[in-house]
Structure 1
């Protein structure tokens, strides 16, 4: 189950991208501010270290002391605070920016995304609905706010019923900013998602990726999306090459590391998968999916103790999810010594998996629970029956003592 290539498209509505230029269009060209704006852009590109946070914070303080606060400078204070892990300070600065200019694009987008983080994260989460409403309001106040349009489209793209609206908003974005590689990338993601039911959309996704490449050949998320298009075309070698280019351009691109891990796992390149999932976990220590992927790679590399530790961490983090129970059951069933205790542990873990499996896990659940009558022909016992039969053969139970959850 864990070897299925579950693609991660790079639609990341959790934080504004390209924010410095969006935040400071009116300041660029003012000689006394050019050096400071360049410094902020440098930190945005290279990452926000403790030293970078201190430099930007003090620089903004001097800026506002000399020229007075304004909407864009307050928004910049919010940006720095957000990047430096001070969300309450960031929200306060964004709200102050709107007092100076209620129609300001960037602070409205930032507050919209903050409202999403406060609520649910799924397709129907309250936070997502709040964010979409706030982004729509930002567009109403400033129809040229491409930052709001692109983030609104990113959220809409997660719901197939809203794909047409997302495409319309991305086209509006491109009408105002024809050089937006991010908008073209998101458009390709939507076409890729639609290609499952409309195969001709796959070619459209490929065309849009090529257009985005001509606009910005160093836009890392594009290569992640392009890799998924290659997977859909069945060209796995090209997909690996595109993902490697994505992480070369942006080593912090979590989705690309995850996709690289899943793809190399499916190709049985387990050492490569281990590296990719390890990096993904470093980028997002709380990632359940990265932990499960790493566990599968470690298991295949013959390092069961490490795999078990990672599975335990995943289960402790998200006990309601079924995947780690299944993969840990496989570990105890197939990759250890086959003792009675290990078989019983594998069986218990399978029971936990079955109890939590959803519709998306139906195939794995059915394969687990398949039970063949004695002497049945053309019937392949499922994993639960295989474990049961092993325990019967070891004299630990009778044939009739199968677990209730298998009936």
Structure 2
């Protein structure tokens, strides 16, 4: 589930706080007759249902919040700290002694989520929603988990739940829900009109702007707005949208520069507000890739991954762009960082294989060829249906294994030819692989020519050896005649070559 959750969004959910009652008096308490007071306003502190929170429960809740903030700042979340922090929140809920303290149960779920204990996290989010069906932060998280469990296929259901949380329950006040809703609309991308807009992209823009109207410093909203302009520019160019990892755009349709500059402007404004928000630098890097400014892209991706070393997309983007201008060692390091987060990631294994292949030289030939081959095998195990693996394995075999010399060279060439054939079969009629299919056919023909030439050369070598032996025998025979006292004879001329 971890991969799906990260691919849906890079927003880190924020813990909910207890609020002072806006009305007079407040509700009844469960675990104590005395309700806690806000030290600033003196008003009674209440839960999401308006029930007064006891002093004891509020104190335990504050202790739990302090622990969560401390671990967030230190970045030292572990199974032990997640469990202990979650238990602090659950103790606060128990102290309250009733069935309404959704905030504490929700925050316990967030504590589990911090160390990717997703089953525990979802369980507590679900419990919080059961305590209070209008508790929109929990509805957001449950909707995301349900979408992840569907393989991100049930977008309609996710959008319905997210809209319920953002618009109906939160009344446009939950900026996280609004940005998630926009993201889901962009992911679905349909053209069906409804009361919220003419199509999904326009609906997404509306909800991003709503989030910024509530909080003009909310960085995920800025980031999603920049992504909106970037993806809109791709749409206008007839390009596929939604790709999270940078690719070589040199052979793709160029997008409108003006639209890209608008996206870049949003990034610039956001970075001025908060230069330490990693996702905005990753988005800025994607924009620079489209503008063909690879140096600028590398700088942004590198900054994003340094700000957040666990940012998978930034690591992959930094690696992919470095591969484009032969930064093989840098790509190697970033792909390895990505694989630490996702050991079974196909793209990271394939990318690392290419980075290793680019570093092959005479000094490390055997070890690097073996390492690159091992990564290709790992990629093939993860996704045996992916055509790219076979093409790159064929290149490695033809260009390196076959050229290492020895009796196995012809066998390696035949293996490469077979791999090119498998690639062509798996690629089918896909336009994405059209150029590679053409090159594969050319290489297969080239391999046939090399093998034929080698066989011809071998035949010629054997003929020359036989001819040499004949000459030597004739010379020995002539020398023997002279030694016996006979007249020297003129050797017959050698056969014409």
TM-score (norm 1): 0.84
Q: How many angstroms apart in 1 are the aligned matches of 2:187 and 2:435?
A: 24
Q: Is the 8 A contact 1:74 1:94 kept in 2?
A: yes
Pick aligned residue for 2:432 from 344, 360, 370: 360
In the TM superposition, what is the alpha-carbon distance from 1:16 to its structure 2 partner?
A: 7.1
Q: Does 1:57 align with 2:86?
A: yes
Distance in 2 between residues matched to 1:346 and 1:132, nearest whole Å: 47
For 1:342, the equivalent position in structure 2 comes to 412
Deviations 1:307-354 (A, max 9, x none): 100100110111111111111111001122341221122122222222
**Partners of 2:178 and 2:437 in 1: CA distance:** 41
Deviation at residue 85 of structure 1 after TM alignment: 4.2
Secondary structure in 2 matching 1:336: helix
Give the corresponding residue for 1:258: 316
Partner of 2:385: 320
CA separation of 1:15/1:260 partners in 2, compared to 1, >3 Å: closer, same or farther?
Answer: closer
Structure 1 residue 99 corresponds to structure 2 residue 130: yes
Within 5 Å, which residues of 2 pair with 1:266-277?
266-277=324-335
Give me the whole-angstrom Cα distance separating, in 2, the residues matched to 1:15 and 1:53: 21
More deviation, 331-340/155-164: 155-164
Equivalent of 2:448 in 340, 363, 388:
388
Q: For residue 233 of structure 2, what is the aligned residue in structure 1?
A: 195
Preserved contact between residue 182 and residue 205 of structure 2 (Cα < 8 Å): yes
Is 1:298–1:306's contact at 8 Å kept on the other side of the alignment? yes
Alignment of 1:307 onto 2:334: no
- 2:183–2:224: 8 Å Cα contact kept in structure 1? yes
What is the SS of the residue equivalent to 1:368?
Answer: helix
Aligned residues: 369
Query: For 2:420 and 2:351, how far apart are their aligned partners in 1?
Result: 18
Looking at structure 2, the residues matched to 314 and 112 of structure 1 have their Cα atoms a distance apart, in angstroms, of 31
Shift of 1:301: 0.7
Matched, 1:77 2:142: no
Out of 316-325 and 141-150, give the one that drifted further.
Answer: 141-150
How far does the alpha carbon of each residue in 1:60-85 deviate from its partner, in whole angstroms, 9 at most, with x for none?
A: 23222323461111111222233344
Partner secondary structure for residue 355 of structure 2: helix
> Structure 1 residue 247 and structure 2 residue 305: aligned?
yes
User: Does structure 1 retain, via aligned residues, the 8 Å contact 2:219–2:277?
Assistant: yes
The 5 A counterparts of 1:5-404 are 12=6, 14=8, 17-21=11-15, 23-24=16-17, 26=19, 32=59, 33-45=61-73, 46-68=75-97, 70-121=101-152, 125=153, 127-139=154-166, 140-143=168-171, 144-161=173-190, 162-196=200-234, 197=237, 198-302=256-360, 303-338=368-403, 339-357=409-427, 358-369=430-441, 382-395=442-455
Give the distance between the partners of 1:259 and 1:180, measured in 2 at CA: 24
Query: What's the Cα RMSD here?
Result: 2.4
Distance 1:362 1:42 in 2: 53
- The alpha-carbon distance between structure 1 residues 76 and 259, as it changes in their structure 2 partners (threshold 3 A), is same
Residue 390 of structure 1 deviates from its aligned partner by 2.4
Instruction: Give yes or no for contact 1:16–1:109 (8 Å, CA) kept in 2.
Output: no
2:401 match: secondary structure? coil
Larger-gyration structure (1/2): 2
Q: Does the CA contact (< 8 Å) of 2:226 and 2:264 recur in 1?
A: yes
Answer 1 or 2: higher relative contact order, Cα 8 Å, separation at least 6.
Answer: 1
What CA distance in whole angstroms lies between the structure 2 residues aligned with 1:128 and 1:304? 43
The runs of 5 or more residues in structure 1 that have no matched partner are 1-10, 370-381, 397-407
* C-alpha contact (below 8 Å) 2:402/2:410 kept by paired residues: no
Contact 2:83 2:111 in 1 (8 A): no
The answer as to whether partners of 2:350 and 2:379 remain within 8 angstroms in 1 is yes
Kept in 2, the 8 Å contact 1:264–1:272? The answer is yes
Aligned to 1:404: none
Cα gap change, 1:351 to 1:200, in 2 (>3 Å): same
- For normalisation by structure 2, the TM-score amounts to 0.69
Indicate the residue corresponding to 1:4 in structure 2.
Answer: none
Question: Cα distance, 1:180 vs. partner?
Answer: 0.9
Secondary structure, aligned partner of 2:259: helix
| Aligned partners of 2:353 and 2:375 also within 8 Å | yes
